[in-house]
């Protein structure tokens, strides 16, 4: 820096961000510390975090085992090129193959990159250019994945797209059967629509999609960016219906906050050398964080659905949609007011699409924290709605 000294502090960092960071985010709170399901702002106020970095910090904030794994690896090797074997990559790929029941792993840095890889793989291996996605689905903001993201306000300003995508009503398998044609490379679908506000399809929908894809001989890509890594009480949400995709995409909770994504594909479906890649993909620190996270999540999995049921029962008056620790509540145009008042009272929630409050608490959240947070949410909703 020109002054020769640091200008960073908790007091001025937010104003510097407002001055120099491209204004793509609407934010008013600076968080500086986190432990478990609790975070603190720059003034020392604590909050129960029911967003967990948008389903990222599933093991809680700064889990000691994850911190230790990152510190250890940082003292040995922070980065090396994928021209060489990278420490931890093979072990992580093996674990992801075992978890998904698939064979080939491509490591990326984010969810949108994982979906980009999935779309590229489907296109290059099938030789077809058309895809089918679903209304209100969200698959990312880069050009390929954005083409399959439904929300017009996000997608349309950046068209036209080289990826051709048709959008169908979510939950309607019959329409899917009619929409697939000889140029369809793959169907991409979320088991639960997270960004739309935790929209859960009727039982059997995903299984029907799998059967139709088999019948029509097109690939099935299941986007588990938000639903995977134990969020719904299984490693993958598609397990609830006994569905194995041809390709599954993962990110968010996979490495407890360290940037990492993954595309996992079935035997015989993989990139050839030179077809895809990345400088930072699957770096040593990311692999260390992910391997530690997977061990923690494995222990947490048996209790996820029970905790989700605590939310369901306590919020029953508001007709919640619950899948493990994904919870959605429709509150309409007062969503932002509810979010802000919950924040003022020490609980962080999120406004997703279509007037829906979305709760994505860390998998480590305690029963007492659930009780406290829900009590505040109920009081706020009753006061506003």
Is the pLDDT score of 182 beyond 50?
A: yes
Query: What pTM was estimated for this model as a whole?
Result: 0.95
Average the pLDDT over 349-364 and give the result.
Answer: 97
Cα(137)–Cα(65) distance, integer angstroms: 34
pLDDT at 9: 54
Of the pLDDT bands very low, low, confident and very high (cuts 50, 70, 90), residue 338 is very high
pLDDT tens string 262-319: 999 999 999 999 999 999 999 999 999 999 999 999 999 999 999 999 999 999 999 9
Of the pLDDT bands very low, low, confident and very high (cuts 50, 70, 90), residue 3 is very low
Average the pLDDT over 179-203 and give the result.
Answer: 97
The more confident residue out of 14 and 173 is 173
Domain boundaries, the chain: 67-300
pLDDT tens string 258-270: 999 999 999 999 9
pLDDT tens string 78-133: 999 999 999 999 999 999 999 999 999 999 999 999 999 999 999 999 999 999 99
User: Tokens 């997608």 sit at which residue?
Assistant: 155
Chosen CATH of 67-300 out of 3.30.750.200, 2.60.40.1220, 2.60.40.10, 3.40.640.10:
3.40.640.10
Is the pLDDT score of 20 beyond 50?
A: yes
Average pLDDT along the chain: 95
Residues assigned a catalytic role: 138, 223, 252
Spatial contact of 186 and 247, defined as CB atoms under 8 Å apart: yes
pLDDT > 90: percent of the chain: 92
Of the pLDDT bands very low, low, confident and very high (cuts 50, 70, 90), residue 13 is confident
Spatial contact of 314 and 378, defined as CB atoms under 8 Å apart: yes
Residue-wise over 142-169: b if at least 16 C-beta within 10 A, else e?
eebbbbbbbeeeebeeeeeeebbbbbbe
Per-residue tokens: 46: 């604590």
């Amino acid at each position: 820096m020109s002054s020769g000294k640091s200008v960073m502090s908790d007091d001025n960092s937010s104003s510097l961000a407002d001055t120099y960071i491209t204004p793509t985010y609407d934010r008013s709170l600076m968080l500086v510390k986190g432990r478990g399901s609790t975070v603190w702002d720059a003034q020392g106020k604590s909050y129960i975090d029911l967003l967990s970095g948008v389903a990222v910090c599933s093991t809680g904030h700064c889990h000691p085992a994850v911190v230790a794994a990152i510190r250890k690896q940082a003292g040995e090797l922070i980065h090396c090129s994928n021209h060489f074997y990278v420490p931890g990559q093979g072990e992580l790929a093996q674990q992801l193959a075992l978890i998904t029941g698939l064979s080939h792993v491509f490591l990326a840095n984010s969810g949108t990159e994982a979906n980009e890889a999935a779309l590229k793989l489907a296109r290059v291996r099938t030789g077809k250019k058309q895809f089918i996605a679903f209304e209100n689905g969200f698959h990312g903001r880069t050009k390929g994945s954005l083409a399959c993201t439904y929300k017009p306000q996000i997608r349309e300003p950046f068209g036209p797209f080289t990826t051709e995508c048709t959008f169908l009503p979510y939950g309607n398998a019959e329409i899917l059967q009619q929409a697939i044609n000889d140029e369809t490379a793959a169907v991409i679908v979320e088991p639960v629509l997270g960004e739309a506000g935790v929209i859960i399809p009727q039982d059997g929908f995903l299984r029907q999609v799998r059967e139709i894809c088999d019948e029509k001989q097109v690939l099935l890509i299941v986007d588990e960016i938000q639903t995977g890594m134990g969020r719904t009480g299984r490693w993958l949400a598609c397990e609830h219906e006994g569905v194995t995709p041809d390709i599954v995409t993962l990110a968010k909770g996979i490495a407890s906050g360290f940037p990492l994504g993954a595309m996992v594909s079935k035997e015989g479906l993989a990139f050839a050398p030179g077809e895809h890649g990345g400088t930072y993909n699957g770096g040593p620190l990311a692999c260390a964080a992910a391997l530690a996270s997977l061990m923690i999540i494995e222990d947490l999995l048996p209790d996820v659905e029970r905790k989700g049921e605590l939310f369901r029962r306590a919020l029953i008056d508001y007709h919640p949609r619950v899948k493990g620790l994904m919870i959605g509540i429709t509150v309409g145009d007062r969503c932002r007011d509810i979010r802000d008042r919950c924040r003022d009272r020490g609980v962080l929630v999120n406004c997703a699409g279509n007037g829906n409050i979305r709760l994505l608490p860390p998998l480590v959240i305690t029963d007492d924290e659930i009780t406290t947070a829900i009590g505040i949410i109920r009081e706020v909703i009753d006061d506003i709605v």
